[in-house]
Amino acid sequence: MFADYTTSELMSIFAMQGFSGLILFSVFVLMALGLAIIFGQMGVINMAHGEFMILGAYVTYLTSNVFSEYMPALFGGYFFVAMILAFIAAGALGMLVEWAMIRHLYHRPLDTLLATWGLSLILQQLYRTIFGAREVGVTLPDWLMGSVQITDIIEVPINGIFVMTLAVGISVLIAALMYRSRWGIQVRSVVQNRPMAGAVGINTARVDRLTFGLGCGIAGVAGSAFTMIGSTGPTSGQLYIVDTFLVVVFGGAASLLGTIASAFTISQAQSTMEFFLSGSMAKVLTLLFVVFILMLRPQGLFSLKVRR
């Protein structure tokens, strides 16, 4: 399959595919981070995670419309406002869902999975009713358009670089929150020993709600970033949910570093294969690869051997 290309062409292809893999990686990381927090820390499977992401995307779409309508002068900066709004909207909805639904199902993980699937159906139809079945896209501000020429063959789009930067920034922020802040310590202590955490005065119900809200909020931000590189439809979220779950499981559910590493592996594998095979076969092979590895190492790539 490589015979038709010269070495330098091949190098460039790998570089370009590597870069588009990096964009995919960024989307995976942003989506998976929220999921990793919810699944890894709380053990809750949230099948509506994709819909929380799409909520963020729609919020961004609305914000960009408002800006171009009323404040065209500030249009260049709308994205940052949109991102914050997306976080708040998705986070608030997440906390509501936790209060109304999830908290009643903590001991029944499989039932949570089904209930959140129901939620995802409702949200999808809600989006369809409000925004229509067609995909919507946002207008990128000027400074995000165009691309940077690196060599004569390799060029990288600016919006891609932006999304990547965002993914890195948010990962660092989350890591700091989980491992440095007082709240992060509370979350991890609740995960490890709920009764004990409750006994030392941590309001475990509140920690649960905030954790779930944070995970959903990050999904909202992911959706916001997603608008930079693609358009949004009511069912866009569902397309990513299985991939994202595999990313989280593959990385070892409780490890943020694992999540990032596995997002990198999967996205790179997929985008590199995509160039040589059809898109669908690349996806099949990637999924098969992940499932195969999980069968060999069910606890995921990064997890500790602990005393039971």
Shortest Cβ 221–other proteins spacing (Å) = 24
Please say whether the beta carbons of 112 and 102 come within 8 A: yes
Which residues of this protein are in contact with other proteins, per CB under 8 A? 43, 45, 101, 104-105, 108-115, 117-125, 128-129, 238, 242, 245-246, 249, 278, 280-281, 283-284, 287-288, 290-291, 294-295, 298, 304-308
CA gap 5, 118 in Å, rounded: 49
Q: How far is the CB of 282 from other proteins (least distance, A)?
A: 10
Which C-beta is closer to other proteins: that of 89 or that of 282? 282
Q: Is 174 exposed, middle or buried (0-12, 13-18, 19+ CB in 10 A)?
A: buried
Q: Which residues pair with 232 in a beta bridge?
A: 136
Nearer to other proteins, 15 or 294 (CB): 294
Least distance from C-beta 222 to other proteins, angstroms?
A: 19
DSSP assignment, residue 136? B
Q: Which is nearer to other proteins, 124 or 272 (CB)?
A: 124
Rounded distance between C-alpha atoms, residue 299 and residue 135, angstroms: 38
**Which DSSP symbol is given to 202?**
-
Nearer to other proteins, 211 or 227 (CB): 211
| Least Å from the CB of residue 277 to other proteins | 10
Token pair for 20: 């588009």
Give the closest residue to 77 by CA, choosing from 87, 89, 88, 66.
Answer: 66
Task: Tell me, rounded to whole angstroms, the distance of Cα 47 from its chain centroid.
Answer: 13
Q: How far is the CB of 139 from other proteins (least distance, A)?
A: 29
Least Å distance between CB 7 and other proteins?
30
User: CA torsion angle for 90, 93, 95, 96 (degrees, to 10)?
Assistant: 180
Residue for token pair 């989280």: 248
State the residue for tokens 């409000």: 130
Cβ distance to other proteins smaller for residue 19 or 240? 240
Which lies closer to other proteins via its Cβ, residue 229 or residue 294?
Answer: 294
Contacts for 272-280: CB closer than 8 Å, 24+ residues apart = 272/14, 272/17, 272/18, 272/21, 274/17, 275/13, 275/17, 276/1
> Judged by CB, which is closer to other proteins: 1, or 304?
304
Question: Residue 246 CB, nearest distance to other proteins (Å)?
Answer: 6
For other proteins, the closer CB: 19 or 52: 52
- In 64-122, beta strands by DSSP E: none
CB of residue 129 to other proteins, shortest distance in Å: 6
